[in-house]
Each structure stands twice: as C-alpha cells, then as structure tokens.
Amino acid sequence: MTIHAYDPDLSAALNAELKRQREGLEMIPSENFVSESVLEALGSIATNKYAEGYNGRRYYGGCQFIDQIESLAIERAKQLFGAEHVNVQPLSGAPANIAAYSAILEKGDTVLGMDLSHGGHLTHGHPVTYIAGIYNFIRYKTSPDGTLDYDNLRAMALEHKPKLVLVGYSAYSREIDYARVKEIADEVGAYTMADIAHIAGLIAAGEMNNPVPLFDLVTTTTHKTLRGPRGGMIMCKEALAKAVDKAVFPGLQGGPHENVIAAKAIAFREALEPEFKEYARQIRVNAKTLEGEFRTRGYTLCFGGTDNHLLLMDVVASRGVSGKEAQIALDKAGITVNKNTIPDDARGPMDPSGIRFGTPAVTTRGMKEDDMKQIAAWMDDAITNAKDDARLEAIRLGVKALTDRYPLYQGLSY
C-alpha cells in the first residue's frame, strides 16, 4: 500500500515538507537534495537485511548480495578520495568520529580539536558531549584575522603532547593546510584526523585540498556537499584498517543500514561523473558571489570570507539583529539558514550573534551567480527589515517565483 493510501497523516506531513523544499531557498550549508536514484536506493529492499560484520565475514547467512552492495560503495569511495581503506557502515558523522577516536585512543588520551564557536563540531570535544568525559580534549581557536593559526597549533601540540591532532570543521569557511598539520603532528608523534563532513564533495571534485593521502584518519558524512544519503564513513591508512573496522562493529554499532550503504554507492558513482566536478566548482563560485554581495553591503563576515561552500556572518554587528531573529525573518521570507555562534560569541547558542548559510542545495537546483545576487539582496532586505512581516511576505513570493524556475523532484508526491 502507498503511504498516501495507508496513512493520510504522514502523507500530509511529507507532502508539506516536499512543498517547503520546493518553494524555499535551502541555504543551510549542511543540507542538499539527493538524486532520485539515491532516494530509490534508500527505499530499497536492502533495508530488510541484517549484515553484522564485513564482506565475506558476516554473522548472518544470506549476505552474498549485501556484500556486493557494500563492495560497490567501498570501491567507489576509495576511487573518489584515493583512500587505502574505507568503512561505509557509520550511521552518521558523530558516530563516525566516535568510532575513529576509539580506534586509536585510550581513556584519558589528549586530543587537540577546534573550539565549537570557531567552527569545530560538538564531537570535537565540546564539554556537553559524552566523549568529552572520556578523552582529554584541548581546544584551539582561529586567529583574530580568521585564519587557522598553525604556529599556535604547533605551540599547543608541543605543550600538551596530544595523541591526536584533529582538523576539519562545521562552520569554518577557509582552506586547510593538511601538510602543515601533519608536520606538527609528526613532530609530537600524534595521529592525524580530518573531519571533512562539510567539504567532502568539494574534495572529491578536486576543488579543495584532500587530506586522505596524508592523514591517518578521515571521517565524513555522506549527505552534505557529497550529496548522498544521510550517513557517515571513515577512511584510513591500511595500518589502521582492522582497528577502525573493529571500532565501528562490534565496538559501537550493530547491523549496518544496507539500504543507506546502497544509496552511498549510488552517490559515490554520481560524484565520480564529470558533471559533479562542475557542480562542485559552481558551489564555490556561488558562495564567492554571495561573499562579494554581502561585503558590498557592509556585512561582517567571519574568517574574512569563504574558500568553500559556506559563510558565517555576524548579524548583530552587521544589522543589530540576533542570529535567532535573522533566522526567523529569513524563514518567513522562504529562505532557510541556521543561527550560529561566531568565534568567542558573547551570546548563547540558542540566540547567537551569527547565521551560517551556504550554496550546496541551491546549486543542486541549478542556480548560478545571477540568482546568488538576487538571493543576497533578499537576505539583506529580510535581515534589515526583520520585523516587517508584509515585506517578508513580499520576499517569500519572489522566492517562490524563483524556485518555480528550478523544479525539484518533479512528479513526486506522497
């Protein structure tokens, strides 16, 4: 039975979400629109199978075709990133990071990770997380000019003698010099790990530096710029392969979600196509266009601008509205962003000083530089007139007219 025929309540909620995705501008930089093939794989019969273990070494019978599915995902990921070993079973980014830590660290070991408000992720050692009580996270920050301060990172590494140096961020918009980080880690005998969740698609397409050939461990999600299903992945050197696999299963997880792994295989194949390179190039061109538009309008951009797909903007300094107020106003205008702390934010995470936004999803829809100029003008208007509901509604109508020109999931309904 279809969802529509069986469950009118769920059907209504899904159709409303589909309409929201179609008629809005999705500017949250960690979101994207997967292809119809990825959606098909997610809804496939591969969801029915238990397959604890790894290819050829499963705890259940009947895994011969699941082995084929998982091999396709692994081989394509290796080809995309030049990885020696890949584990495609992590359920998402946070479990991938925790598994990667547990593969190499003992309780109490020291990790150098980026502070959350400077662009790091919760799982990079924020005190509210469970793992912050297990490992000794020392958190570094960006320099006042917004760049990564490698000299400071080296000084901190020499002082704290970490077992792991961690880079790769969730709200940081600049490039990373992985060779320099490796040099620092080597000097103190530390492992290297990069969390490339946000920029994996840009790296796969050759648009940004690739840490995989250099680093011991690289974790990622598969659903952001990589445009696959919601999931995670760990890449590592062959020497760590056994430890990583053991950390994921049986260390942390049970049965892998094989429908998601099938969808990862499709997404990786898509990312190997020449069209994906053009997509990734356009993501950056679009982000750079937004940077220029906001700079011209006098906005304060954190980290001095962007090299990747995202921008972090101080809206308190720019227009005297909080991140929460800006997010609400933009929501009313049909433009989805997320409120976000800025480096050393004086305000709390539920009503911070900034908003974070980016271009992966609008670029998937086919939007280019002229559209970015229009979007920046609307965003400026909405943020500047955050309390003017009539104005926000007028922008929303403009947004709808624009998105109508870039159809999404044509013919789909629930």
Task: Tell me the binding residues for (6S)-5,6,7,8-tetrahydrofolate.
Answer: 116, 120-122, 238
Q: Quote the CA–CA distance of 42 and 407 in Å, as a whole number.
A: 22
Q: Does 87 bind ligand DSN (CB under 6 A)?
A: no
336 touches ligand DSN by CB under 6 A: no
**Is 195 tagged catalytic?**
yes
Per-residue mark of binding to ligand DSN, 117-136 (x: CB under 6 A): ----x---------------
Is 224 marked active-site?
yes
For position 30 contacting ligand DSN by CB under 6 A, the verdict is yes
Cα gap 386→380, rounded to integer Å: 10
Q: Is 151 a catalytic residue?
A: no
Q: Which of 58, 139, 154, 224 is catalytic?
A: 224
Question: Is 57 annotated as catalytic?
Answer: no
Q: In what order do the strands lie in the sheet with 164-167?
A: 85-87, 232-236, 217-221, 191-195, 164-167, 110-114, 136-140
Q: For ligand DSN, which residue has the nearest CB? A: 30
* Extended strands (E) in 196-253: 217-221, 232-236
Out of 195, 207, 293, 381, pick the active-site residue.
195
CA separation, residue 92 to residues 47, 66, 171, 220 (Å): 16, 19, 18, 8
Whether 281 is a known active-site residue: answer no
Does position 93 interact with ligand DSN (CB under 6 A)? The reply is: yes
- H-helix or E-strand containing 98? helix 93-104
Per CB under 6 A, contacts with ligand DSN among 209-228 are none
Q: Residues 78, 84, 183, 230: which is the catalytic one?
A: 230
- With respect to ligand DSN, which residue has the nearer C-beta, 121 or 309? 121
Secondary structure class of 148 (helix, strand, coil) = strand
Q: Does 359 bind ligand DSN (CB under 6 A)?
A: no
Q: Does 170 bind ligand DSN (CB under 6 A)?
A: yes
Q: How far is CA 155 from the centre of its chain?
A: 29
Residue 346: closest CA among 337, 336, 338, 354: 354
Which is the catalytic residue, given 7, 23, 31, 52? 52
172: annotated active-site residue: no
Q: Which is nearer to ligand DSN, 28 or 402 (CB)?
A: 28
Q: Is residue 32 a contact residue for ligand DSN (CB under 6 A)?
A: no
Separation between Cα atoms, residue 231 and residue 245, nearest integer Å: 16
Per the CB < 8 A criterion, the answer to whether 389 and 358 are in contact is: no
Residues that bind ligand DSN (CB under 6 A): 30, 93, 121, 170
Kindly list the catalytic residues. Answer: 50, 52, 195, 221, 224, 230
